[in-house]
Amino acid sequence: MSGNDPTGLSHQKLCAVEPALSSIAPLRDFKSVADKTLFHAGPPLIDPTSPPAPLLNGILAAIVLERWASSREEAEALFASGEVKLSPAQDAGIVTPLAFVVGSSTVCLKVSDLNQTDRFVLSPLNDGPPPHAIRFGTYHDAGLTIVQSLIDGVGNDLANALKAPIPLLPQMAAALADGDELHGRVASMQQQIRAILDTQLSPRATKYLDGAGQFALNAIMAAAALMIEAGAGIPGSRMLVACGGNGESLGFKVADAPDKWLTKPATRPIGGRLPGLEQTDALPAIGDSAVIDAFGFGAACLRFSPEIAGSLQDQFDRQLISSAFLDDRAHNAFIGPHPRLGNDSIRVGLDLSQPRECLGINLGIVEETGKHGLIGRGVAPWPQG
């Protein structure tokens, strides 16, 4: 696609971004937040008073963590009063995973464009491993304790360990070559960032990172969002510049109308279940990590990650997930290669007008009632139409 056409120009602007993990601090240090405002993944809710159960758990957890209430029961009463305002995180330059809800005290990663440092996207610090992490849609004291520890000092320790911005494109290229698809598997990316931070880490920050095996994922989310958003505001461009699910709708924005959410009913991820959870039902796609797949990583890069592709083998065998995800056809809907990734078969920048044999989002599967949290991993097919 020519760089002279609008969509090609958006792709050029995407490729011009140099994302770097630049700082770590509470949200309020980066942005002014209106009183009693919380930020959730995806587009606006159909009915903000009645969110899906896992997202409601995230909202109640955020209310308690913001100290607007001291218990779940008090948080429920406050939410029912209508005093709490919910807003799509991406409208505020934030990307948040799954059912995790961000408030002003949430400790965030800041990913900036080294070529234009006033441009940045924020993402909350990863809230640790399953089963009780808040992002998986359950409300549990253990999950609250982890996030509170980040607020109380671990976040500051990590900020002190980050002595200089960490450019992320070289790390991404190396991670892809080492078996990450940069959504479900981020082990190599995590190792690279740890190698930079480790010599400066406090014991409590080291303990946190030992448990938060997907710490790097939140930085990848912010970098992907920063890069695709750079292509916004070009009349006639068809490239997606935002994407996320809220558990009921999948929303996205297109470059030529970047202030308008377009929505479709979110699909349920197709994938295996964790032992003992085989009969549970999946919540439709939730999370702003969909920006990773809209960039061109995640589901489109399954062929580079034998570990993730192997975990989905049964779904491929039963033709529940298209085998096109396992070869170059997975990038048919994307605009063109990125010069810094070292592999021209990886195309970036999603153009929904392009013919495709497959398109989806590789994400954790959240149980829909809010009782069981993470129940597996799979691919949520892109909605039809």
| 300-313 confidence digits (pLDDT tens) | 999 999 999 999 99
| Residue-level pLDDT at 348 | 98
End-to-end distance of the chain based on CA atoms, in angstroms?
23
Three-state SS at 100: coil
Assess whether pLDDT exceeds 90 at residue 106: yes
Average pLDDT over residues 332-340: 98
Higher pLDDT, 65 or 1: 65
Together in a domain, 217 and 299: no
Q: Is residue 194 part of a domain?
A: yes
Of 277, 87, 308, 91, the closest CA to residue 188 belongs to 308
For residue 96, what are the contacts with CB-CB under 8 A and spacing of at least 6? 39, 40, 41, 89, 102, 123, 124, 287, 288
Together in a domain, 81 and 180: yes
| Residue-level pLDDT at 385 | 65
Print the domain residue range for 372.
Answer: 233-381
Together in a domain, 161 and 252: no
Sheet of 286-287: strand order equals: 257-265, 249-254, 240-246, 286-287
| Residue-level pLDDT at 384 | 85
Assess whether pLDDT exceeds 90 at residue 379: yes
Q: Which long-range contacts (C-beta less than 8 Å, at least 24 apart) are formed by 176-179?
A: 176/297, 176/301, 176/304, 176/341, 176/343, 176/346, 177/304, 177/342, 177/343, 179/304, 179/305, 179/306, 179/307
Together in a domain, 187 and 243: no
Assess whether pLDDT exceeds 60 at residue 73: yes
CA-to-CA distance for 282 and 279, rounded, in angstroms?
Answer: 10
pTM of full prediction above 0.95: yes
Residue where a domain stops, chosen among 171, 203, 225: 225
Q: Is residue 3 part of a domain?
A: no
Assess whether pLDDT exceeds 50 at residue 347: yes
CATH of the domain at 126: 3.90.1710.10
Average pLDDT over residues 353-380: 97
Together in a domain, 204 and 253: no
CA-to-CA distance for 9 and 336, rounded, in angstroms?
Answer: 11
Give 35-61 pLDDT, tens digit per residue: 999 999 999 999 999 999 999 999 999
Assess whether pLDDT exceeds 60 at residue 381: yes
| Residue-level pLDDT at 4 | 72
Percent share of the chain, pLDDT over 70? 99
Q: Is residue 369 part of a domain?
A: yes
Average pLDDT over residues 282-287: 98
Percent share of the chain, pLDDT over 90? 98
| Confidence class for position 183, pLDDT limits 50, 70, 90 | very high
Q: Is residue 7 part of a domain?
A: no
Assess whether pLDDT exceeds 50 at residue 2: no
Q: How many residues can be counted in the chain?
A: 385
| Residue-level pLDDT at 295 | 98
Assess whether pLDDT exceeds 80 at residue 15: yes
Q: What is the mean pLDDT of the chain?
A: 97
Two tokens at 304?
Answer: 């580079």
Residue where a domain stops, chosen among 225, 259, 290: 225
